[in-house]
Amino acid sequence: MSFQTEFKTLFEQSLAQYCQTRYLTPQQLSKTQWYQFIAQVSQQAILQKSQKNRPLTDVRHVNYLSMEFLVGRLLGNNLQNLEVYDFITQQVKQYGAELVDILEQETDPALGNGGLGRLAACYLDSMASLAQPATGYGLHYQYGLFKQSFSEQGKQKEQGDAWGRDFYPQQQHHLDFTQQVGFGGEVKLISHDKYAWKPEWIVNGEAFDLAVVGYKGIQQPLRLWQGYSETSFDLSKFDEGEYLFAEEKVIDASKLTKVLYPNDNHQNGKALRLMQQYFHCACSVADIIKRHLAQGRKLEQLAEYEVIQLNDTHPAIAIPELMRVLLDDYDFSWQQAWQICSQTFAYTNHTLLPEALEQWDQNLLASLLPRHFMIIDRINNELYHQVKAHFSDEEFSDIWQQTAVLFGYRVRMANLCVVGSFAVNGVAKIHSDLVVSDLFPAYARLFKDRFYNVTNGITPRRWIRQANPQLSALLDKHIKGDWTKDLSLLQQIEKFAKNEKFQTAYAQIKQANKQRLADKIKQELGLEVDTQAIFDVQIKRFHEYKRQQLNLLNIIATYQELKANPNQDVVPRVFIFAGKAAPGYFMAKQIIHAINCVADVINNDPDMKGKLQVVFLPDYRVSLAEIIIPAADVSEQISLAGKEASGTGNMKLALNGAITLGTLDGANVEIADYVGNENVIIFGHTVESIKQELKAGYEPMRYYQQDKVLAQAIDSLANGTFSKGDTTTFEMLVKELLTKDSFCTLADFASYRQAQQKIANFYQNRTAWIEATILNTARLGAFSSDRSIKDYQTQIWKK
Ligand SMILES: *Cc1c(COP(=O)(O)O)cnc(C)c1O
């Protein structure tokens, strides 16, 4: 019997039972009850199915270690991938319910900040779909990323997200996998070169598994660890004052995984964060070894059967942890242990931003993890000799400054990762080149064959099939073969790009998706937006390097221009923002505040009717992205060149037929290569040109003085136009722009405004625009995360 037939029987029998025990008929079930019922049945089906389809393969098992997994709602995706979505849609319809409404009942688990966590989720989906054996390892935060709302004045407010308190049936609490993790204490020398670590506290790590259901594929776990202990442990014993919890002397282990740190591309060096990292790694490494040994294999063969992929440096401490286990628990020699270890780990770099590169205070690390500190020290010493042997005496000091793992009482985690891994990769071509040329030039000479590129990708199951069902249906109709499994098949619609009937169908879908978003905006903000206008979208974390402030300055300038020339011909535009700022990131929060204030003035100005609107949707998250992305006409990817490692929002938007308005940064470069320069709008400085300008001494004030339009826009932020006369509200933002402008916003302003004008002209030529949007969809196949995973397989994970 096929799975689908079995599922139908299961569904019908369970429904009868579910209703009977509640004295209800299916027609009487509420949306919540439907959700609970379908979630439970699908969970049952997943468990049954997973017994059957675990393939026996010879490839290495991938252990994907990430502090974040931004999975989004799971039920709809699981039903799609189990191929029972249409069946259930029909079933519930027959009882007067709509599956899409039912799926809205699920909470969106926000166990990540942004791109890095979402990438991890896309990769798990692709690995399961490609039958690449894999386990995701992360943390089961009690509170995910905060929920965002806006105050009366438009400032960001944060609220805890206790996602697990709601009914959440997609996870299984697995006590069989519990691990114990030590902290603090001391290290004893037992015999020559043999050490034993006696931790001061022991914490339990309990496993919560989420099933990752691949498309027509296998299921494998995302294993999330949660801290637990019966007795609380006393942190005052640490007595390192500044590092430790200012107000709390005692912490119970459940606090370890209480909350996800809300920083994206920024490290703040908190002790609890390091404890989370070690807890994550210790549980995961122990689980990997347990599974390896249970298969009757020897630890000597670990690298042959297992690879541990580090998603950024956040799990870097797994390297000394594996060394510790091999040395202390299994009596390996240093050379043997290092041989195994350095063939097992692979490291993905996600950022070049100095403020995001993790470094830990040596004393903090040594007090929390004394044995690990010793091991890191030895790694550093071995490296010292290697560098000495490899470079001339003249060069040595400079090279050592760059390559040392321990330097200036700091532990440099990125360096630890490079030294301890057999492969290091960046996440887009331009970024991988910069990793070699700017971040690790000395390492690139020392370890010649260690550096790779794997351009990021996104899963087409979520980012078209689920987010854009109408476009999916159109693609199904016009493409031979299953594009959901092989996204390169999208090429086939290229031949319809000029076809009038296809253009009409494609444009109608965009229009329907814009209407769906307009309804959401009306529901959230009470604002009616013009669906004939260009939907110009910037949705991502708020960070100065992503330059939402550049977008804002152009909006202000446009507003001022329209006020000064009421009869000017304009292409109506709705600027749409969504995104959160880290609670401690003052400048990013001020930019959010400014956008809300500017939106308030513009949206309430009758002169702007039919011309200009500004929308800021609160609480950006995966489920909101799924509504905004299919509705976008323009995709704002305007980071300063060299700062955005890849971006993945850019891929989701282009795939759904938005025209990229972007700098030559991250994956924008490759997107432009694939879709062709006539189908994107590129502007601004390049990596090279901005380097030169900075070298010559960048002065933002010069741009301010030479560009009246720019000056007027900045002045209006300073003089209270958008803050009810209060000239202090945006003082810091204005000061930053005029005196430092760390991300060269002013240097790209004029070029950005020209690019925006190009967009307006382009949009007016309807057929040319639609053709370009179709070509964006047709040519984006390479950005499937299936392609990324295949790249990892052939370049890095191969035996
Ligand atoms: C894709 C995605 C991101 C990443 O967006 P970028 O534009 O690449 O920074 C962040 N958050 C969510 C919810 C996403 O879906």
Is residue 223 among the annotated active site residues? no
Is residue 292 among the annotated active site residues? no
Cα–Cα distance, 88 to 94 (Å, whole number)? 10
- Strand order of the β-sheet with 406-407 is 359-361, 410-412, 406-407
368's tokens? 């929390």
Ligand 1 mutation target, pool 70, 580, 638, 671, most atoms within 8 A of CB: 70
Q: How far is the CA of 648 from the centre of ligand 1 (A)?
A: 6
pLDDT above 70 for 251:
no
468's tokens? 């854009």
Q: How confident is the model at residue 165 (pLDDT cuts 50, 70, 90)?
A: confident
- For 507-553, the pLDDT digits (tens) are 999 999 999 999 999 999 999 999 999 999 999 999 999 999 999 99
C-alpha neighbours within 13 Å on the C-beta side of residue 796: 27
- For 374-428, the pLDDT digits (tens) are 999 999 999 999 999 999 999 999 999 999 999 999 999 999 999 999 999 999 9
Q: Mean per-residue pLDDT for 231-252?
A: 49
- Residue 360, classed as helix, strand or coil, is strand
Q: Mean per-residue pLDDT for 131-145?
A: 96
pLDDT of residue 456: 98
Q: Catalytic residue among 484, 648, 721, 777, which?
A: 648
pLDDT above 90 for 194:
yes
pLDDT of residue 54: 62
- C-alpha distances (whole Å) from 262 to each of 266, 272, 357 are 9, 13, 16
108's tokens? 């969106």
* Buried-exposed string 127-138: b where 16+ CB fall within 10 A, e elsewhere: bbbbbbbbbbbb
Beta strands in 99-252 (DSSP E): 134-139, 147-150, 156-159, 171-183, 186-191, 194-198, 201-213, 219-228, 233-234, 250-251
Closest CA to ligand 1's atom 15: 622
Ligand 1 mutation target, pool 264, 463, 539, 655, most atoms within 8 A of CB: 539
Are 43 and 169 a contacting pair, CB within 8 Å? Answer: yes
pLDDT of residue 217: 76
Share of the chain above pLDDT 90, in %: 91
- Give the start-to-end residue ranges of the domains of the chain: 1-52+84-105, 60-72+108-172+207-226+234-360+413-455+791-797, 460-685+766-783
**What's 60-72+108-172+207-226+234-360+413-455+791-797's CATH class?**
alpha beta
Is residue 298 among the annotated active site residues? no
Q: Catalytic residue among 350, 372, 547, 593, which?
A: 350
Share of the chain above pLDDT 70, in %: 96
- For 721-731, the pLDDT digits (tens) are 999 999 999 99
**What's the whole-number average pLDDT of the chain?**
95
Are 674 and 779 a contacting pair, CB within 8 Å? Answer: yes
Closest CA to ligand 1's atom 1: 649
Ligand 1 mutation target, pool 116, 146, 541, 624, most atoms within 8 A of CB: 541
Q: How confident is the model at residue 2 (pLDDT cuts 50, 70, 90)?
A: confident
Q: Using a 6 Å CB cutoff, which residues line ligand 1?
A: 70, 114-115, 118, 540-541, 620-622, 625, 647-649, 652
Are 323 and 340 a contacting pair, CB within 8 Å? Answer: no
Q: How confident is the model at residue 48 (pLDDT cuts 50, 70, 90)?
A: confident
Q: How confident is the model at residue 166 (pLDDT cuts 50, 70, 90)?
A: confident
**What's 460-685+766-783's CATH class?**
alpha beta
Same fold, 60-72+108-172+207-226+234-360+413-455+791-797 and 460-685+766-783: yes
493's tokens? 């619609």
- For 658-692, the pLDDT digits (tens) are 999 999 999 999 999 999 999 999 999 999 999 99
Cα–Cα distance, 299 to 290 (Å, whole number)? 10
- C-alpha distances (whole Å) from 110 to each of 114, 139, 184, 459 are 9, 12, 31, 18
- For 561-577, the pLDDT digits (tens) are 999 999 999 999 999 99
- For 297-350, the pLDDT digits (tens) are 999 999 999 999 999 999 999 999 999 999 999 999 999 999 999 999 999 999
DSSP β-bridge partners for residue 613:
574
